[in-house]
DNA sequence: TTAGAACAATCTGTCCTC
DNA sequence: AGAGGACAGATTGTTCTA
């Protein structure tokens, strides 16, 4: 799953619904609102859509760590550095570095900032399982980077069912 | 020695020569061509002018390594990575990173490229002691960086004595 | 499931010898 | 003086336990 663009389509158009029902379209998940019980279930679908990708670096995620879906290395990175921000220096001095697992070295300052941006918290964690998925903020990579991949994440979604 | 600009002045102007002879001017070295025997001697003066600064990262240089005046860490970096260029990835993906000892993390790809740019060579070394100083190419840091310090280096200087 | 500890790998820099 | 080996520190990543 390396497509550039990802969209959520909410529709009541019969033709489109029939088209989606008739054919299995790659990289596409459809959700019938009538069978949707709760937000957790919807986010579960979105997780599959995301292929469980780390929100920080796009590596394969191992699960929710400090409230955010991340890989193992970003998890331990946040654990180690959450209180060390002042010690970390931006490699570019611009605070605009993109963080990507494909590049072996990463800017620790911008990596930690991204952790906070997407909502990783040690002390202010939300305890309820179901609220966990909501806590992640939708944050895009800095605009200067060309490959602007990041997992879709539902934020404060209100079911209008 | 952290001055921004450095110049070589070649002069036969008596007033200027008298001024330079009369006063000890900080960060300034004068060379009397009449007492100059060879290129090595001139480069020795230039070394003092440079304060023996690493051509790669502006750290204190330990001497000539692989034909170029560098610090210990840049020396061992080149030794280890001279044949590993393909394994090193540019942190910025632009190949334009500035390399400076004051910043703890460095882009290895751009650091190695800079090593080659300034003429570090393992296999194609010039053996003669006296030619050593000539082999370094004068290469400036990438233009996007603001602190454009680099040691002066004499390249193919021809004595017109 | 996920937080944290323990272990391991990687990368970098310094010291030492020849 | 400079090349290379060896050791050491910093940083990052993986595995294991509970
Ligand atoms: Zn990650
Ligand atoms: Zn950065
Ligand atoms: Zn250096
Ligand atoms: Zn670079």
Q: For residues A84 and A94, what is the distance between their CA atoms, to the nearest angstrom?
A: 18
Burial profile B121-131: b = 16 or more Cβ within 10 angstroms, e = fewer: eeeeeeeeeee
Residue B158 φ/ψ, nearest 5 degrees? -110, 120
Q: What is the ipTM of this complex?
A: 0.57
Q: How confident is the model at residue B100 (pLDDT cuts 50, 70, 90)?
A: confident
For residue B66, being part of any structural domain is answered with: yes
Residues 1-40 in B having a C-beta less than 7 A from any atom of strand D are none
For residue B9, being part of any structural domain is answered with: no
pLDDT tens for each residue of A12-61: 556 666 666 666 555 555 555 555 444 455 555 555 555 678 989 888 88
Pair B70, B124: CB distance under 8 Å? no
pLDDT tens for each residue of B15-74: 666 666 666 555 455 555 555 444 455 555 555 555 678 989 988 888 899 989 999 999
Nearest chain A residue (CA) to B109: A105
pLDDT tens for each residue of A101-135: 876 457 899 999 999 999 898 754 343 333 334 33
Q: Does A91 touch chain B (CB under 8 A)?
A: yes
Closest CB from A89, A92, A104 relative to B89: A104
For residue A6, being part of any structural domain is answered with: no
For residue A136, being part of any structural domain is answered with: no
> How many H helices and E strands in chain B?
4, 2
Closest C-alpha among A87, A108, A110, A88 to residue A97:
A110
Who wins on pLDDT, A86 or A11? A86
Q: Structural domain tally of chain A?
A: 1
Place of tokens 């009538």: A34
Task: Please state the pTM of the whole predicted model.
Answer: 0.58
Q: Residue A86 is part of which domain span?
A: 42-118
For residue A55, being part of any structural domain is answered with: yes
Question: Counting beta carbons within 10 angstroms of the beta carbon of residue A93, is it exposed (0 to 12), middle (13 to 18) or buried (19 or more)?
Answer: middle
How many Å does it take to go from CA A36 to C1' C1?
A: 23
Query: What is the 8-class DSSP label of residue A63?
Result: E
How many Å does it take to go from CA B96 to C1' D3?
A: 30
For residue A25, being part of any structural domain is answered with: no
Q: Does B144 touch chain A (CB under 8 A)?
A: no
Whichever domain contains A77, its CATH number is 3.30.50.10
Burial profile A130-145: b = 16 or more Cβ within 10 angstroms, e = fewer: eebbbbbeebebbeeb
Distance A94 CA to ligand 4 centre (A): 15
Closest C-alpha among B14, B7, B43 to residue B133:
B43
The pLDDT value recorded for residue A116 is 92
What lies within 8 Å, CB to CB, of A156 at 6+ separation is: A134
Q: Are B104 and A89 a contacting pair at CB < 8 A?
A: yes
How many Å does it take to go from CA A108 to C1' D1?
A: 38
For residue B123, being part of any structural domain is answered with: no
Q: For residues B57 and B102, what is the distance between their CA atoms, to the nearest angstrom?
A: 8
Closest C-alpha among A105, A152, A157, A142 to residue A4:
A152
For residue A135, being part of any structural domain is answered with: no
The pLDDT value recorded for residue B81 is 93
Distance A156 CA to ligand 2 centre (A): 29
Helix or strand or coil: residue A157? Answer: coil
pLDDT tens for each residue of A81-109: 999 898 888 877 788 888 888 764 578 99
Q: For residues B91 and A106, what is the distance between their CA atoms, to the nearest angstrom?
A: 7
Q: Are B108 and A105 a contacting pair at CB < 8 A?
A: yes
Pair B136, B150: CB distance under 8 Å? no
């Amino acid at each position: 799953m390396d497509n550039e663009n990802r969209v959520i389509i909410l529709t009541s158009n019969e033709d489109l619904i029939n088209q989606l029902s008739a054919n299995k379209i790659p990289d596409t998940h459809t959700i019938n609102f009538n069978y949707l019980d709760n937000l957790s279930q919807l986010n579960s679908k979105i997780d599959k859509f995301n292929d469980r990708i780390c929100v920080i670096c796009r590596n394969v995620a191992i699960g929710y760590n400090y409230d955010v879906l991340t890989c193992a290395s970003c998890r331990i990175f946040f654990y180690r550095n959450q209180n060390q921000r002042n010690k970390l220096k931006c490699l570019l001095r611009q605070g605009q570095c993109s963080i990507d697992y494909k590049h072996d070295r990463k800017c620790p300052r911008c990596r930690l900032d991204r952790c906070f941006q997407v909502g990783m918290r040690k002390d202010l964690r939300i305890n309820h399982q179901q609220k966990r998925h909501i806590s992640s903020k939708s944050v895009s990579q800095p605009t200067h980077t060309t490959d602007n991949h990041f997992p879709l994440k539902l934020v404060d979604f209100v079911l209008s069912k």
